[in-house]
Every structure is written in C-alpha cells, then in structure tokens.
C-alpha cells in the first residue's frame, strides 16, 4: 500500500507577486487621493462658514460625523456600526440643518465638503447596505443632497434654487448608479468565489473517494486472502494482517488530511490552488504506489518509466497520470485479482505523456457488490484527462486481460 501524497500549500489565485503589488499600490494611491480631496473640501466648508459668520459648530458637527462614517476602516469598525447607521446619522443631520435653515433662517451654510460627504455616503449605502435598508439609506442620502439648496429659498429665486438642485440631482444619480454597479460586481465576485469553493470541495470529495477506495479495495482483497489462508496456512497470516492494518491506516490518514482542509473553512481553502488543494499525487509518488500494489500475497506490479519522461512536467499532468494509474490498479483488484502480471508504463513522445496500465487477469473476482465501483471511477478519469486536452482508452487486450491507456499533453496550453 502507499501513503497518501501530501497537501501543497499554495495560493488560490495565479496572480504573480508583481501584479498583486502593483494593484495594491494603485488602490492605495487612489484611496489617498480621494481622502485628500475630501479633506480639502471639508476645509473649504469650514473656511466658508468662518468667512460668512455662519454657525461653525453645525458645520463641524456635520463634517465630523460624515468624515468618520466615510473614512472609518471597515475592518476595524465595531459590530454596531453598520453601513446603514453610518449613512443615516450624517444624512439625517444634514436634513435637519436644511429644515432649520428653511424655516428659521438660521444655520444657512452649505459647502462642497458636505455635498461630497453625502455623495460618498450614498455610494456606500447603495453598495454595502442590506437590500431592505439600501433603498431607505439611498433615498435619505440622495434627498439630503438634492434638498440642501433649499436652505437659501428666500435669498435666491425659486428658479435659481431649482438650477442649483439640478446638478445635485445629476450627481446623486451618477453616484447611485456607480454604487449599484459596484454592488453587482461584488455580488458576481461573491458568487464566483462560492462556486470555486464548492467545486474545490467537490473535487476534494472525489479525491478522497479515489484514495479511500484504493485502500479499502486492498483491504477487501487481503481479507479474502486471509480467510482462505486461515484454514490452510495460518502461519503466513501475519504479513497479510499487517498489510490490512497498513491499508486501513492510510485510508484513515487520507480522510484526516481531506477533512482537515474542509474544516479549515473558506480561509484555509482560499490558500490552496485548484489541483493542489487536496490529496495530490505526482510521478515521484507513483513509484511508491506501484511498488506497494500487490501487498504480501498479491501480484506485484512493475513500473517501466522511459528515460524521456521528465520530472518537470506540469503538476496537473503528473496528478492526472497518478490518478489514471491509481484507478487502473484499483480496478485490477476489483475485477482481476487473478492477474499474475501488472505492468505500468510511462513514455514521452511528441509533447505527450503516454500512461499505460496492463494486466493479464481473466476477471470473475468474487468481490462484494458494493466494492465493484459502478464505473464512476472511469467517468471521473475521463473528465480529468479530457479537461487537460488528453484522451483515455480502456478495454480488453487482444489475448486476455485489460488495459488503460491515457495520452496527456506534456506542456501547458498557451494563454
């Protein structure tokens, strides 16, 4: 029997370090520029209030609440500071100032900083608020922006007030549309990540089945052998029982590794690359797999590896070759335990890896129905091989026995 291959810890995304660094720097520069502009506009509001002799405390209150709501890091905000609360409080204060200014002719102050803060809050509300709150917060923030010019309704003509409100309405529509677009991108990204994780977990479950089925089939074969030897050759039972113990240990180890990854949650899975995030085999582990095939009493398998087969083949090709040999050897145990010769051959020609597994069994092995596989292993192999652009052939040999032949492209397709 063979020990389960190890799990490789690599990144899920194939992005290079240079690309990630460049993207992070670009995002940092954009964020710094936006914060700087927002702060400059806020300073302009304070300057306007001081020059015009307006109520400075009201301007400072509104700007403090608005800037805190916009600039507070999402990763460090307390649980109670939800996006809807961050939007409602500053927008509500702005509406209250508009109402007071329109009725009592006090607190008549309006500057670009307040407008910019309200538009940013509108963007945050549309993008991040829960669906049942998004509309309410968007209406409140957008309404506060559009209604702000009404603070001067008796100072300027009604037509002029409407002219001031029109650009505010246009900006409100632009920021609301941008927030909706970013929300749709976030949703699609979340769906894509969820589907990737789901596919990864299904793949891990399939790999777990492959490894456990390989070991459990070995356990069944050796248990049948032990029962026959119990009456005729009890002195030779110890190696058979040791093989059963070893196969059971490896099956449990395979399950432990896979379940450990699954229990690690999304963060653990996200650190792993598709094709390398589960029990992974390669050409190095293939030699151990073939060597431990027969156990103490079964037929030995021989590995013929052509010198042209490189150890630097793409990982996904090596993993597919390992799975082909593993499934073929498992089927030999299931259907042709009477085989006396099992040959595994690897060759490389015309940028193609040739993987061949042949046996000389005649079938008819008395295995329990549940251990016969049902043909799902071949279906999975076909999907795996064809996904790489290869082909898989399985069928009887000319004289007797069975063969599995897989042709795998030995180079990655050009991007």
Reported confidence tier of residue 97, pLDDT bands at 50, 70, 90:
confident
Cβ within 8 Å of residue 153, ≥6 positions away: 102, 161
Reply yes or no on whether the pLDDT at 34 is more than 70: yes
Reply yes or no on whether the pLDDT at 413 is more than 60: no
Of 47, 72, 73, 51, residue with least CA distance to 60: 47
Structure tokens at 314: 């793409």
Per-residue confidence (pLDDT) for residue 294, from 0 to 100: 67
Reply yes or no on whether the pLDDT at 110 is more than 60: yes
Residue whose tokens read 């003509």: 157
Per the model's pLDDT, the better-predicted residue between 298 and 352 turns out to be: 352
d(CA 293, CA 299): 8
Per-residue confidence (pLDDT) for residue 376, from 0 to 100: 54
Using alpha carbons, list the distances in angstroms from residue 196 to 13, 179, 193. Answer: 11, 25, 5
Taking each helix axis from N to C end, the angle separating 17-52 and 112-128, rounded to the nearest 10 degrees, works out to: 140
d(CA 333, CA 218): 7
Per-residue confidence (pLDDT) for residue 272, from 0 to 100: 44
* Domains of the chain from N-terminus onward: 1-280 (no CATH), 281-415 (3.30.565.10)
Comparing 41-45, 166-170, 184-188, 377-381, the range with the smallest average pLDDT is: 377-381
Task: Please tell me the pTM assigned to this model.
Answer: 0.54
Contact (Cβ atoms closer than 8 angstroms) between residue 301 and residue 331: no
Per-residue confidence (pLDDT) for residue 278, from 0 to 100: 43
Reply yes or no on whether the pLDDT at 93 is more than 50: yes
Using alpha carbons, list the distances in angstroms from residue 268 to 14, 252, 254, 262, 275. Answer: 16, 21, 18, 8, 15
Per the model's pLDDT, the better-predicted residue between 370 and 61 turns out to be: 61
Taking all residues of the chain, what is their mean pLDDT, rounded to a whole number? Answer: 76
Reported confidence tier of residue 356, pLDDT bands at 50, 70, 90:
very high
d(CA 51, CA 90): 24
Please report, in angstroms and rounded to a whole number, the separation of the first and last CA atoms in the chain.
39
pLDDT in tens, 262-309: 666 544 444 444 444 345 567 888 888 888 776 655 677 888 888 878
pLDDT in tens, 142-187: 998 888 877 776 566 555 666 777 888 899 999 999 999 999 999 9
Comparing 118-122, 166-170, 184-188, 365-369, the range with the smallest average pLDDT is: 365-369
Residue 13: CB atoms within 10 Å: 11
Reply yes or no on whether the pLDDT at 60 is more than 70: yes
d(CA 314, CA 18): 22
3-state secondary structure labels for all residues of the chain: CCCCCCCCCCCCCCCCHHHHHHHHHHHHHHHHHHHHHHHHHHHHHHHHHHHHCCCHHHHHHHHHHHHHHHHCCHHHCCCCCCHHHHHHHHHHHHHHHHHHHHHHCCCCCCCHHHHHHHHHHHHHHHHHCCHHHHHHHHHHHHHHHHHHHHHHCCCCCHHHHHHHHHHHHHHHHHHHHHHHHHHHHHHHHHHHHHHHHHHHHHHHHHHHHHHHHHHHHHHHHHHHHHHHHHHHCHHHHHHHHHHHHHHHHHHHHHHHHHHHHHHCHHHHHHCCCCCCCCCCCCHHHHHHHHHCCCCCCCCCEEEEECCCCCCCCCHHHHHHHHHHHHHHHHHHHHHCCCCCCEEEEEEEECCEEEEEEEECCCCCCCCCHHHCCCCHHHHHHHHHHHHCCCEEEEEECCCCCEEEEEEEECCCCCC
Contact (Cβ atoms closer than 8 angstroms) between residue 11 and residue 271: yes
d(CA 187, CA 182): 9
* Winning range, highest mean pLDDT, from 9-13, 251-255, 319-323, 403-407: 403-407
Length of the chain as a residue count: 415
Share of the chain above pLDDT 90, in %: 13
Comparing 80-84, 170-174, 224-228, 411-415, the range with the smallest average pLDDT is: 411-415
Reply yes or no on whether the pLDDT at 394 is more than 80: yes
């Amino acid at each position: 029997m063979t020990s389960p291959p190890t799990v490789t810890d690599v990144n899920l995304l194939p992005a290079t370090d240079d690309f990630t660094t460049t993207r992070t720097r670009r995002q940092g520069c954009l964020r710094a520029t936006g914060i700087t502009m927002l702060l400059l506009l806020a300073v302009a509001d304070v300057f306007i209030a001081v020059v015009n002799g307006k109520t400075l405390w009201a301007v400072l209150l509104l700007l403090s609440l608005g800037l805190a709501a916009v600039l507070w890091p999402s990763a460090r905000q307390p649980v109670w500071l939800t996006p809807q609360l961050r939007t409602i409080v500053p927008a509500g204060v702005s509406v209250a100032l508009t109402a007071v200014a329109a009725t009592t002719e006090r607190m008549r102050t309006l500057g670009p900083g307040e407008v910019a803060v309200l538009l940013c809050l509108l963007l945050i509300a549309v993008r991040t608020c829960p669906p049942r709150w998004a509309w309410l917060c968007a209406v409140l923030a957008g309404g506060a922006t559009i209604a702000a010019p009404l603070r001067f309704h008796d100072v300027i003509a009604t037509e002029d007030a409407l002219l001031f409100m029109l650009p505010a309405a246009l900006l409100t529509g632009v920021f609301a549309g941008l927030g909706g677009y970013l929300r749709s991108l976030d949703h699609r990204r979340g769906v894509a990540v969820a589907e990737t994780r789901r596919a990864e977990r299904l793949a891990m479950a399939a790999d777990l089945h492959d490894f456990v089925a390989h070991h459990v089939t070995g356990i069944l074969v050796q248990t049948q052998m032990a029962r026959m030897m119990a009456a005729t050759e009890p002195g030779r039972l110890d190696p058979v029982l040791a093989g059963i113990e070893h196969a059971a240990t490896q099956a449990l180890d395979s399950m432990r590794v896979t379940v450990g990854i699954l229990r690690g949650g999304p963060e653990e899975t996200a650190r792993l690359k598709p094709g390398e995030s589960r029990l992974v085999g390669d050409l190095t582990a293939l030699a151990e797999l073939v060597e431990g095939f027969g156990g103490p009493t079964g037929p030995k398998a021989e590995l013929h590896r052509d010198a042209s087969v490189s150890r630097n083949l793409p990982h996904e090709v090596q993993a597919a070759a390992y799975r082909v040999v593993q499934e073929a050897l498992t089927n030999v145990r299931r259907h042709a335990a009477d085989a006396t010769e099992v040959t595994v051959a690897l060759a490389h020609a015309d940028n193609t890896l040739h993987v061949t597994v042949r046996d000389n069994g005649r079938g008819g092995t008395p295995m329990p129905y549940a251990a016969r596989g049902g043909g799902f292993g071949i279906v999975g192999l076909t999907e795996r091989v064809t996904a790489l652009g290869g082909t898989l052939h399985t069928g009887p040999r000319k004289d007797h026995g069975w063969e599995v032949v897989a042709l795998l492209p030995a180079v990655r397709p050009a991007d």
